[in-house]
Amino acid sequence: MYKLVVIPGDGIGREVVPVAVQVLEKLLPDLQTVEAEAGWDCFQRHGSAVPDATFQALLECGAGLFGAVSSLTGQRVVGYRSAILQLRQQLKLNTNLRPVRSWPSISPRPGVDLILLCENSEGLYCGREHWESEGVAIAEWVISRDATQALALRALEVAKARKARRITLVHKANVLPVTCGLFRDTCREVLEGEGWAAELDERLVDLAALQLVEQPEAFDLIVTSNLFGDILSDLACHWSGGLGLAPSLNWGQDIALAEPIHGSAPDIAGSGRANPLAAILSTALLLRYHWQKPALAKRLEKAVENFLLEEGKADFGFETTRVVGQGILAAL
C-alpha cells in the first residue's frame, strides 16, 4: 500500500495538485492520500508556514506532493520562512533531482535528455544572513562534506539507473576555493572511488550555463550545489517546454517530496490556465526513484508523450488544467 501526503500550497498549486493525484491514483489504485497544509496562505491562517502536523504526516507516510509556495519578493515578514525550504532542511531532503528532456510538439530542440542533481539543504539557501554594519549585508555559503557525500552517492544511484555515459560536476572553485573546492573534491573522491574517473568531467558554472544554451544534448548527469542547480535547471527547462513541464523530486533517506518547479503564479491562479504537466511528471519521479516503480513511471511519461503528439500543444487557454488532465488520464 502506498501513502501520499498531498500539500497543494499556494496559488495554482491548489489546481494542478488534484489533477496529478488523479493521475497517480489511476496508476496506483490502492494509493492512500492525506491532506496537509503548508505555504504563505497557511502562515496567514495559522502563524506557521509548515505546521507540525504536516511534518508528522510526511514522516509517517514517507512521500508527498507539494504544489507551490508564494515567494515574498522584496519584503520580510517576522516569523515567516519559505515552506519548501523548511521542508527540505528539516526532513533532510538533501538531494534535488530535476530532469530535462525534449517533448514532442512543444520542445524547441530535439535530443535533449539530462538530469540535474543539486544539493538541497545548504549553500546560500541555508538562511544565514545578517547585517555586518550599516549598508553591508552578509549571506553565508555553507558546504559540508557529509551533505556533499550524500549527493554524490545519489548521483551514483541515478547514473546506474539511467546508464549514464558521463557525470559533470559544476562549481566555481576558481573563485570559491574553500567551499566550492570542498564540493568538487568530495564529489570526485566518491565518484572516482566507484570507478567513474574516466566518465567524470567538470565545468565552471558560467561555462556550464553557456553550454546548456549552445549544446544541451551534450550533457547527461549534472551534479552541482544548491544555488547553481536552481539557476541552471530553470535555464535548461527551456528545452523541455518551460516551467510548465519542469518536475522535481526532493529526495532524502526513505522520504521524498515531489514538487513542480513552477511557482504559485498568482496572476493566473483560479483562471483554469495552469498547466498540470509539471506536477504530473513530478509524480513520475516519485514512482521511479522513491517507490521503485520504473515501469509505471515510464508508462506515465509515455502517456504525456502521446498526449503531446496528438494535441500538438499544452496550452488550451482557460481550459488548460482540465483538458491536459483529462488528456493524460485518457492516454493512460
User: Which residue of the set 2, 172, 289, 293 is catalytic?
Assistant: 172
**What nine digits make up the cell of 201?**
568531467
In contact, 84 and 298? CB cutoff 8 Å: no
- Whether 125 is catalytic is yes
Cα dihedral across residues 238, 239, 245, 249: positive or negative: negative
Cα separation values, 123 from 59, 60, 92, 264, 299, Å: 25, 28, 14, 24, 36
User: Which residue of the set 10, 230, 289, 293 is catalytic?
Assistant: 230
Cα separation values, 193 from 50, 123, 140, 144, 208, Å: 39, 25, 30, 19, 24
Q: Are strands 95-101 and 129-133 parallel, antiparallel or unpaired?
A: unpaired
User: Which residue of the set 160, 206, 298, 302 is catalytic?
Assistant: 206
User: Which residue of the set 113, 185, 220, 234 is catalytic?
Assistant: 234
- Please give the Cα distance from 271 to 111 (Å, whole number): 34
- b/e for 286-308, b at 16 or more Cβ within 10 A? bbbbbbebeebbebbbebbebbb
User: Which residue of the set 125, 289, 313, 315 is catalytic?
Assistant: 125
Backbone angles phi, psi at 159, to 5 degrees: -60, -40
- Please give the Cα distance from 107 to 238 (Å, whole number): 8
Q: Who's near 239: CB < 8 A, 6+ residues apart?
A: 100, 102, 107, 108, 109, 112, 216
Active site residues: 125, 172, 206, 230, 234
